[in-house]
Amino acid sequence: MLPITERTQPQPRPQDPSPRERGPVVVLGHTGLLGQALVRVAAERGLRTLGIASRTVPGLNLARQADLAPFLDPLAPSLVVNAAAITDLAACEADPSAAHEVHVRLPGLLADWSRHSGVPWVQVSTDHYWNDIENALHDEAAPVGPPNVYARSKHAGEELALRDPGCLVLRTNIVGFRGRTGAPTFAEWAVNALAAGEPFDAYTDVWASSIEVHQFSQALFDLVAGGARGLLNVASHDSLSKADFIAALARAAGYDPQLARRVGRPARQRPRRANAMGLDVTRAEALLGRALPGADEVIAAIVASPAMPKLTLRLDLALEPLELRPAEATAAVAAVDAGAAGGNET
């Protein structure tokens, strides 16, 4: 029998494991626009991550397995974030069964695995659900009208994920730099078009609540830490047209906003696309206890990104013509080339 003093002394409570001691965060789609940001933000928070994507684990297509337990159980994750997707709308139209595998079957398997393992997980979804003649903020209960294979399959994936009460499904619209040659993201395309200095079309009737990917990732980890479950919109609290977004980006980055010609979207787009994608983020802001970023903060984060190309001396010279002697001109051109190459990680 223990001496009375020992029995009555409060026993030390088992400490919560530190972030480093907890199991890793498994990020499905870690090579993508969002996956890269999730890995970076997790590392800043002291969380270990393990990434799985088609190109890093060739031959392993999780979406084709009968059961994810043999793959995920040995990794002992503390959290799984599913950021894997086929985000090329035309590719989804061309191969609907591939879209179904990644967008529907995979979240279905994750829901089954999570119900059995008890490990929380996040399904990242989309805002690609609405067509309208005006900008509108859609809350989580708004009826959806997915216009194409991508959107229909993403919505079906949401429904399977939501059958698991432990799942957090996040609808969003993300912007940022991915750095994949030949496949620019919206932000990469806009910055390249502005930097090229030639006029280009920017749609006045396509609206979205775009959030910068690292801002989205911070909100995701905060919501998970707070135990959030179910369907939530996580995006900017402002919904802007693509034309307004690009003009604001141009002003913030020192480019000429007039280069973006303000036009309506083509009448017949193939595949059909959503245009009124605004998201109402009231619920997520209440759970987070803070405001999600406004459009100006989103644009500031893009401009501050290390991947943002630095304004070249060419533009500075164009604004303020300098009288240079030939030797100085040569040195200035060399500096321009170095700045352009070094300023853009892509």
Ligand X SMILES: NC(=O)c1ccc[n+]([C@@H]2O[C@H](COP(=O)([O-])OP(=O)(O)OC[C@H]3O[C@@H](n4cnc5c(N)ncnc54)[C@H](OP(=O)(O)O)[C@@H]3O)[C@@H](O)[C@H]2O)c1
Three-state DSSP class for 225? Answer: helix
Nearer to ligand X, 109 or 228 (CB): 109
DSSP secondary structure code for residue 24 in this structure: P
Q: Judged by CB under 6 A, does residue 53 bind ligand X?
A: yes
Residue 31 CB partners (closer than 8 Å, separation 6+): 51, 53, 55, 56
- Piece in contact with ligand X (CB under 6 A), picked from 55-63, 220-228, 259-267, 331-339: 55-63
Q: Judged by CB under 6 A, does residue 7 bind ligand X?
A: no
Alpha carbons 319 and 313: distance in angstroms, whole number: 10
- Can you read off the two tokens belonging to residue 115? 């119900």
Q: Judged by CB under 6 A, does residue 54 bind ligand X?
A: yes
- Piece in contact with ligand X (CB under 6 A), picked from 52-60, 68-76, 192-200, 329-337: 52-60
- Which member of 25, 29, 41, 274 binds ligand X (CB under 6 A)? 29
User: C-alpha 159: how far from its chain's center?
Assistant: 20
Q: Judged by CB under 6 A, does residue 65 bind ligand X?
A: no
- Which member of 25, 26, 34, 160 binds ligand X (CB under 6 A)? 34
Alpha carbons 87 and 108: distance in angstroms, whole number: 19
Which residue number is nearest to ligand X in terms of Cβ? 32
Q: Annotate each residue in 155-174 with x if it binds ligand X (CB under 6 A) or - if it does not, as one string.
A: -----------------xxx
Distance in Å, CB of 95 to ligand X, minimum: 11
Q: Judged by CB under 6 A, does residue 181 bind ligand X?
A: no
DSSP secondary structure code for residue 73 in this structure: G
Nearest to 346 by CA among 234, 182, 210: 182
Q: Judged by CB under 6 A, does residue 176 bind ligand X?
A: no
Q: Judged by CB under 6 A, does residue 49 bind ligand X?
A: no
